[in-house]
A and B are shown apart, each in its own frame.
Chain A
Amino acid sequence: MESYYTREIPKTDRIPRLVAHLYAKMPEIESARAKLITESYKATEDKPIVMRRALAFEHILDNIPIIIREEELVVGSTTIAPRGCQTYPEFSYQWLEAEFDTVATRKADPFYIAEQTKKDLLEADAYWEGKTTSELATALMTEETKKAIEHNIFTPGNYFYNGVGHVTVQYEKVLEIGYRGIIAQMQEELEQCNPGDADYCTKSQFLKAAIISCEAVIRYANRYARLAQKEAESCSDAARKQELTQIASNCRRVPAYGAESFFEACQSFWFIQQLLQLESSGHSISPGRFDQYMYPYYKKDLDEGKLTREFAQELIDCIWVKLNDLNKCRDAASAEGFAGYSLFQNLIVGGQNKEGCDVTNDLSFMCITASKHVFLPQPSLSIRVWNKSPHALLLKAADLTRTGIGLPAYYNDEVIIPSLMSRGLTLEDAREYNIIGCVEPQKAGKTEGWHDAAFYNMCRPLELVFSNGWDKGEKISIETGRVEDMSSFEEFYAAYKKQMDYNISLLVNADNAIDVAHATRCPLPYLSCMVDDCIKRGKTVQEGGAVYNFTGPQGFGIANMADSLYAIKKLVFDEKKVTLGEYKRALAMNYGQGFDAVSAGEIVMGILREMENNGVSVEENQIADMIKAVMDMELPEADKKKYEELLGMINEVPKFGNDIEEVDMFARDVAYTYTRPLLQYYNPRGGQFQAGLYPVSANVPLGAQTGATPDGRLAHTPVADGVSPSAGKDVYGPTAAANSVSKLDHGIASNGTLFNQKFHPTALSGEKGLENFVALIRSYFDQKGSHMQFNVVDRETLLDAQAHPEKYGHLVVRVAGYSALFTTLSKSLQDDIIRRTEQGF
């Protein structure tokens, strides 16, 4: 007899109605928060920053409009409009003002914005000039770093423009003792502070600020209690009246006090989840091990006969809907990189406890069912897999995967636990890990991981080898010598490593500048009182209050660089079929395949810079002609033929992803050029840098900033996704691709790796299909792969969805680390998903 309930619990009628209500309109930008925070900041200029943050948070929570949406059981909305968003001018605002007129019509993640809202925001934003984290970060970076960012070697845009987020707090603590309990702990700590202590000023201010924040959250919940009560009084429907009365009662009790029922625990959870995101604009605020911390409340109510499984399922479903109510408007470039209105709220089920026992329970199954019921991108559902994971849980997960929703993502305890321990976590903490955002493991309630700290484009340093440190007419990196003079592959590879090392040091500078800016201008007292050891240390996580501190920027383009360097080794040095000089010209000419406007613009920009350096000035109107001339340029037939021959030769060189030992081990070494150098660097919070190997969906927009590469990839086309082989280059099926990927060192990339596979639904059909699918995951994990995720749709479906988006409003695909609605993605990203090798047939 299993110790958990595995049967499918039916969906109630309420759930599709909640979803329909949420998705009735385009999401909207609101200005309430911007106005309130500006008012507050203007009134607190004489106070320490941590106190100003708390007072602003309090002012927002006391005054922001609140709403209970139709038929909701769990309440708390950040905007009046469903799926709306507030703005966060303390981090950055200029980009939004620049996009006022295009944000509603842009391709990726459009938002409606009313004229009045624009006016309100302009008025509020005026206060923030020179006061934002992004401006301070810029002031803290070296000139070389800014140059590297300008030239797209790496992009720290995420935390540069926004809050950090990327955290899992101690939900279990709030559920258990409520904010009253936490306030009492902080009061006690405060009482032990002595005015003569060296850290008295900062510690006492932090504790007082955190207490104010918690009190504000309690008052906010009480505003909801009163609203629910009022609506109950005027409600003519008896059933709804009863629900509203219950909601009012829940909000009076939680999150002020510990939850006494599963229903209260759900409401308490929701306020934490919602308000963390209202305090700062961070994304990837991840609920983590929801099935674990919610279980005691479920079990108790169930045992005492106060709760049916059906109602528990409905409440979980309601939370799943609410997780899609939270939204965020990013700048147009970032929106492409994180396409799909995703907030990456990662919620994980299964796995082991700190003693190493499997802790799968009823809720683990019900969470999977909830994703099937609600069928929306959030939460980013994940599942922990280890040697003792129950087979039934994996089958249940596979059954969700084959719906094509792109959930859950599968994570391997057997790799992640030792990997975290190698970064200083205790065995107990490592066993209790959860996932943040896309794929980043950490220990909840103890970590400030800075998990998504930048995208580092591994292809760009290779371009810098060919250009000897120049880009678009400017010297932006170190000189590693003319490639024409390089006489061995070792010499060439050493030059690549030097370009990598140099630019990694600039990446660290960028991240650390932003880190200091957040600590200086946007410490977060509310979030910090739910992360150990901030209360004892008397400081926020931004200032180093967390037990574990990391910075995890992610590299991408592994497959492109492995294939590129291997092709150079083979064709130039082993077989001597082509010289580096010839290769260089072929790359510059995009293998004779012509230039689009972007490439032509870049070439012209380079020419202009050179002309400028030589004192030649060019008229504005001549530039367009120059670009046109480049685009129209006809290559001599002989050159074209030569480039085509080269492409043919490159095509014949074995590629990563086909289970060829030599190539795969080569790729493993190439990945080390990113993962190893990072480990020597530290951040201002005293934590180590650690690499991730995953691109979110940035492989498309950042590929668009990358010229042709020696693996035969044409200029400005997408680069490979995560640690997956280049699209279409893996031709021996999913086992061969998985074997290749498993040969990378996943353990050293302790900030996570991402491996995407796409299947036709037929590969998962029937009981046998599910069994084989689970076996595939198990086998990849036996070989020490770390993460796996799947798209299960057929090509025809995707093409049809592209042609007729109106028919596919709810087609969810896994993009990279998260699921998104296919029709909301840009055309190029849609094309990329279609192009990925279809496995199975």
Chain B
Amino acid sequence: MEYLQTKGRIFDIQRYSIHDGTGIRTICFLKGCVLRCKWCCNPESQEYGIQEMMVRGKPKIIGRDVTVAEVMETVEKDRPYYARSGGGLTLSGGESLCQPEFSRDLLHAAKAVGINTAMESMACAKWETIESILPYLDHYLMDIKHMNGDKHRKFTGKSNELMLENARKIAASGRTRLSIRVPVVPTFSDTPEEIRAIAQFADKLPGVEDIYLLPYHRLGQDKYEGLGRTYELPHILPPEQERMQELKRTVEENSGLKCQIGG
């Protein structure tokens, strides 16, 4: 039971999440990320360091260090809802794999008491790290943002080779359910060609059955100001509903995947 004492840094626990994974879930947001996506709606997740952010005119401390046991105390509270809905615990971030021991032990703790687990992640980590987590993970919600390495680097700060490679390995391992999630960001990834490329890649991954197209939104914009940062995409608008439908059709025409708009 040593895993219960592992410490990690989180910035929020959100209950009654119904848009990330199956059923009613509790999301634990881990602090720290390897990427710097320009559209990121949780900019306070990117730095590992504890920060102060202005929220509605008041300073708020973002980030706290907790043990696995402390997180589990909150996760346990909604057990009746998981049981009825097929929900459970979801790790999100940031990139959960930036805190590999904490992520592994938190997932372990949930599995040990019969709670379903999921993780939102770009799989931007060494394969050994990912492999250590797989025994405790029921559902890998993996982001694939773009197939073009250069464009990927330009908008997120890193190229995509490692992530794509890991996606193949995760799928090949057959040890977890893998779903692909694609942020649809105008000027970055909202053309049928770009979405088709991702869909065709995902379609070839063994065991992958579904793909989610997540329309860009601006709900995180104020947080940049709160952190004293500049939002670099101030002029783009969320994709129109018709565009999302068109992209959904593109996925369905070019792959055997089940496609859903939104989480």
Contacts and interface: CB of A to CB of B under 8 A. Distances in A.
Give the interface centre of A736, A772, A778, A783 by most chain B CB atoms within 10 Å. Answer: A772
10 contacts: A735-B15, A735-B77, A763-B18, A769-B18, A771-B23, A772-B23, A772-B85, A776-B84, A779-B83, A779-B84
A733 interface: yes
Closest 5 CB pairs between A and B? A775-B85, A775-B84, A733-B16, A779-B80, A779-B81
A774 B78 CA distance: 15
B24 interface: yes
Interface residues of B, number: 15
Contacts of A772: 18, 23-24, 85, 87
Nearest to B78: A735
Contacts, number: 55
Given A772-B85, A775-B84, 19 more contacts: A732-B15, A733-B14, A735-B77, A735-B81, A736-B16, A736-B77, A739-B78, A769-B18, A774-B84, A775-B23, A775-B24, A775-B81, A775-B85, A775-B87, A776-B81, A779-B24, A779-B85, A782-B84, A839-B16
Chain A: interface size category: 20 to 34
Nearest to A782: B80
Interface in A723-746: 732-736, 739
A768 interface: yes
A763 B77 CA distance: 21
Contacts of A659: 77
A293 B23 CA distance: 37
Interface string B2-39: 00000000000011101000011000000000000000
Nearest to B17: A733
A768 B16 contact: no
A778 B84 contact: yes
Nearest to A659: B77
B70 to A, nearest CB: 15
B15 A736 contact: yes
- B interface SS class: mixed
B24 A776 contact: yes
Interface string B101-120: 00000000000000000000
Contacts of A776: 16, 24, 81, 84-85
Contacts of A768: 18
Interface in B194-215: none
Nearest to A783: B80
B85 A735 contact: no
A733 B77 CA distance: 12
Give the interface centre of B78, B80, B85, B86 by most chain A CB atoms within 10 Å. Answer: B80
A735 B16 contact: yes
A771 B77 contact: no
A768 B261 CA distance: 13
A734 B16 contact: yes
Nearest to B219: A841
Interface string B76-100: 0110110111110000000000000
Contacts of A774: 84
A840 to B, nearest CB: 8
A2 B214 CA distance: 37
A289 B116 CA distance: 40
A473 to B, nearest CB: 42
Contacts of A783: 80
Contacts of A771: 23, 85
A775 B82 CA distance: 8
A778 B84 CA distance: 7
Interface string B143-180: 00000000000000000000000000000000000000
A771 B86 CA distance: 10
Nearest to A737: B16
Contacts of A734: 16
Interface in A748-775: 763, 768-769, 771-772, 774-775
Contacts of B81: 735, 775-776, 779
A394 B148 CA distance: 47
Contacts of A736: 15-16, 77
A783 B77 CA distance: 12
A734 B26 CA distance: 12
Nearest to A763: B18
A836 to B, nearest CB: 16
A735 B24 contact: yes
A190 B18 CA distance: 64
Give the interface centre of B14, B18, B77, B78 by most chain A CB atoms within 10 Å. Answer: B18
B188 to A, nearest CB: 25
